[in-house]
A and B are shown apart, each in its own frame.
Chain A
Amino acid sequence: MWLRTGVIAWKEFVQIGRDWRTLAVVVVLPVLMLVLYGYAINFDLRHIALGVQDEDRSPASRQLVDAFSRGENFAVAETVASPAAATRALDAGEVRAVLVIPRGYAADLAAGRTATVQMLVDGADSTSATTTIGYAGAIVREHSGAITLAALRRRGLLARDGFPPLEMRTRFWYNPEQRSVNYIVPGLIAVILMMLSTLLTALTVVRERERGTIEQLIVSPLRSYELILGKLVPYAMIAFVDVLLVMGAGRMLFGVRVVGSIPLLLALSVLYLVSALGIGLLISVISPTQQTAMTVGMLASQLPTMLLSGFLFPVRAMPELVQWLTNLIPARHFLVIVRGIFLKDNGLAQLWPQVLLLAGIAALTLGLASRKFRKKL
């Protein structure tokens, strides 16, 4: 059995070696993705383009504008003279928000009244808009508190420094500098492996069928599980090289280090790989043409891996039903594993449920692929 499996694996290796483009994809794609995600994608919203419509033109109003431009969150991009100009700037996308300070702002404050300012926020991108509103609210709250406090002090009313009444100290664990690459790089290992595994294996069996070489394999003394295994091993090895590649590049380019045990990480990557390749093989066995296999691979494995696994979008925010369905996506479990080991020094004691689920998925897909294949013969 080992000999026959080995021969199939060797044949597959030779075929991969002939196709330089596939090889290039295997090496270039992970690095390209790492660079794109690592450098280009930033979830921290900074320097939001702010328009200012200051109708008061007083020292007090300028102080409020200063409070906005002092931090990293907003950058005053434009001063607009009229509501019409504010609308135009928002319409054209030159600014994402406009701060309107009405006439009488300074007078209100001087008279000890509550002055009202207005924020106009471009809500088209709801996520950025929510963050923008939060930032603006915090700045105005702080500024308002300072003004109130100063007024009370001036009147000698504050014996004790009990302001603000509540202070919250926030500490970020595991990723104290809050760098998104620390979170993205481990996640990318999961996504890239799934992407390559389906890209590579989804075509292997269909191709033989489309070209007619499958009959030759059938008449040989090969058993179906030997064929499946032989098709699996070379791709598993290639994909494993990619794990090392991403880990190495992540460390060299972005300084992302593994906090936990590297051997455990590698061992569990192999388990994940097998489940990912199992899905690719299953798609390959059930698809009639290469075109179909590719499209099904994209829809059934890559899209869910990117969007529904928790790679970028938190699973807990999804509807109940969808959350339940995400359990079928291997990447969802593997993400918990890689992030746990990379960032938190988790061991098997914490990760065993994910390991069991992954093993279950791997057994299921490989078993199904092997059975479907036998039936088709």
Chain B
Amino acid sequence: MNVRRILHLVRKELIQLRRDPQMLRIVFISPIFQLFVFGYAVTTDVKHVATALLDQDRSVQSRDLAERFVRSGYFDIERLPAGPDEVDRQLDDGEVQVALVIPRGFAADLAADRTARVQLLVDGSDSMTAAMVAGYAGGVAGEFSAQVATDRLERLRAQVQRVPAVEERTRVWYNPELKSVRYMVPGVLSMILFLVTMLLTSMAIVKEREIGTLEQLVVTPITPGELIVGKTLPYIGIGFISMLLVLALSTFWFRVPIAGSVALLFALAIVFIFTSLGLGLFISTISHTQQQAMMSTFFFMLPSILLSGFMFPIANMPQIIQYVTLLIPLRYFLVIVRGIFLKGNGFAILWPQVAVLLVFGVAILGLAALRFRKRLG
């Protein structure tokens, strides 16, 4: 390894990058864009669900129940259908996602200490939100029910002094206000680091091959090892700059605090970068054109996004798929980044992830470098 030769190569790469300002701009705008989309727009929480109310009872009690639905913040009553047929039509047309039907006799049942029944019709085509909507509605109905029960017990007070019950207090850790940004920011950070280093490295090398300048580099005294280091160093730099960008934006704009050590975060990011650089290098050995490099990157990227736990919890996946996710390096890095960001985890807790990443990194980068050297020779 000759440091001077490597530095020359790095300088050449930086000059080339400067000549393509549009590309650079996109590289830096993309994390910001993603952070804003994930920070503001993307939420699986359901609020303001379009609701139809068919109140056939028209009593004080039925209005109270409807009122509670609105007050919960989850339901907006947007339609007041005249009959069951109109309820059907409104669900069919997608005008509403939920219909609450309060039948005649609701107040009478309550007054007579009978169980009053109401019906909730949910458009189940979106099974994800449907389950949540049904859950919220159950909560509202449960509260109403509890209120009525308390009132009844109040009347029994003369006879009963004490009635046993269980009450539950919830404490939320790590993210007490349950803000999804806090969970998303560490994810976006890992994704960007992964993508930038893998994609740009593979494209940078393939570009030389496509244009034919790779041969010129090979006949110079530069060794393959130096070539790899020189070609990848600038992109490690870019990766770190975008990481800093995301960190700054999340701290100062989204006000996401980092519970753990920033130094540890950067140190472990270096361990992770080995694997994504290795993948980039590997892709460059199997691609002849930039389009092919792009397509191949896509194949690595898609499973990584879906199976790493970035958007969908791994615990929800079937057992077999959970085993498959063990092969995805991003998975381990996500645990590390989220642990440091949200829980303030230190090395004592994170070392298993670090160990796995280290093994992956050395293996992937080593194999890719071997293959790359062979292809040159």
A interface residues with partner B (beta carbon < 8 Å): 19, 21-22, 25, 29, 32-33, 36-37, 39-49, 64, 90-93, 96, 108-131, 133-138, 140-141, 143-145, 147-148, 151-152, 155, 157, 160-176, 178-180, 182-183, 199, 203, 207, 288-292, 294-296, 298-299, 303-304, 307-308, 312-314, 316-319, 322, 336, 339-340, 343-344, 346, 350
Contact = CB atoms under 8 A, between A and B. Distances in A.
Given A118-B169, A165-B149, A314-B129, 4 more contacts: A115-B166, A165-B110, A172-B134, A317-B47
B306 A166 contact: no
A122 B174 contact: yes
Q: Most A CB atoms within 10 A — which of B46, B120, B166?
A: B166
Q: Most B CB atoms within 10 A — which of A119, A134, A172, A298?
A: A172
25 contacts: A21-B292, A22-B291, A29-B298, A43-B316, A64-B166, A112-B163, A123-B172, A126-B180, A130-B178, A136-B170, A144-B166, A148-B149, A165-B113, A165-B145, A172-B134, A173-B122, A183-B127, A292-B23, A296-B26, A299-B33, A307-B41, A312-B311, A316-B46, A317-B45, A344-B125
Given A43-B127, A343-B125, A121 B349 contact: no
Interface in B108-150: 110, 112-132, 134-139, 141-142, 144-146, 148-149
Contacts of B170: 118-119, 121, 133, 136-137
Given A116-B168, A178-B131, A350-B93, A152 B163 contact: yes
A317 B124 contact: no
B152 A165 contact: yes
Nearest to B307: A40
Given A160-B114, A166-B116, A203-B291, A172 B130 contact: yes
Nearest to A127: B44
Contact of B132 (A123, A131, A313): A131
B165 interface: yes
A181 B12 CA distance: 50
Contacts of A110: 164
Given A21-B295, A33-B302, A114-B164, A120 B136 contact: no
A141 B167 CA distance: 8
Q: Most A CB atoms within 10 A — which of B49, B170, B176?
A: B170
A172 B127 CA distance: 9
A125 B313 contact: yes
Contact of A126 (B92, B131, B182, B203): B182
Interface string B161-196: 111111111111111101110110000000000000
Nearest to B195: A298
Interface string B270-313: 00000000000000000000111011101100110011000111
The 4 closest A-B pairs by CB, nearest first: A112-B162, A172-B124, A162-B113, A165-B148
A316 to B, nearest CB: 6
A12 to B, nearest CB: 14
Contacts of A164: 115, 145, 149
A32 B302 contact: yes
A135 to B, nearest CB: 8
Nearest to B88: A173
B127 A123 contact: no
A44 B303 CA distance: 20
Contacts of B161: 112
Interface stretch (B230-238, B242-250, B335-343, B369-377): B335-343
A118 B65 CA distance: 29
Contacts of B175: 123-124, 126, 129
B343 A91 contact: yes
A116 to B, nearest CB: 5
A109 to B, nearest CB: 4
Given A182-B125, A317-B48, A346-B92, A124 B342 contact: yes
Nearest to B186: A124
Contact of A124 (B47, B128, B162, B183): B183
B346 to A, nearest CB: 10
Nearest to B91: A173
A119 B167 CA distance: 11
B266 interface: no
A125 B135 CA distance: 18
Contacts of B182: 124, 126
B159 A137 contact: no
Interface in B30-65: 30, 33-34, 37-38, 40-50, 65
Contacts of B30: 295, 298-299
B326 interface: no
A298 B137 CA distance: 38
A41 B318 CA distance: 9
Contact of B169 (A116, A131, A316): A116
B116 A36 contact: no
Nearest to A111: B162
Contact of B163 (A118, A148, A165): A148
Contacts of A175: 124-125, 127, 130
A289 B128 contact: no
A39 B323 CA distance: 13
A319 B36 CA distance: 12
B317 A40 contact: yes
Contact of B144 (A96, A118, A166): A166
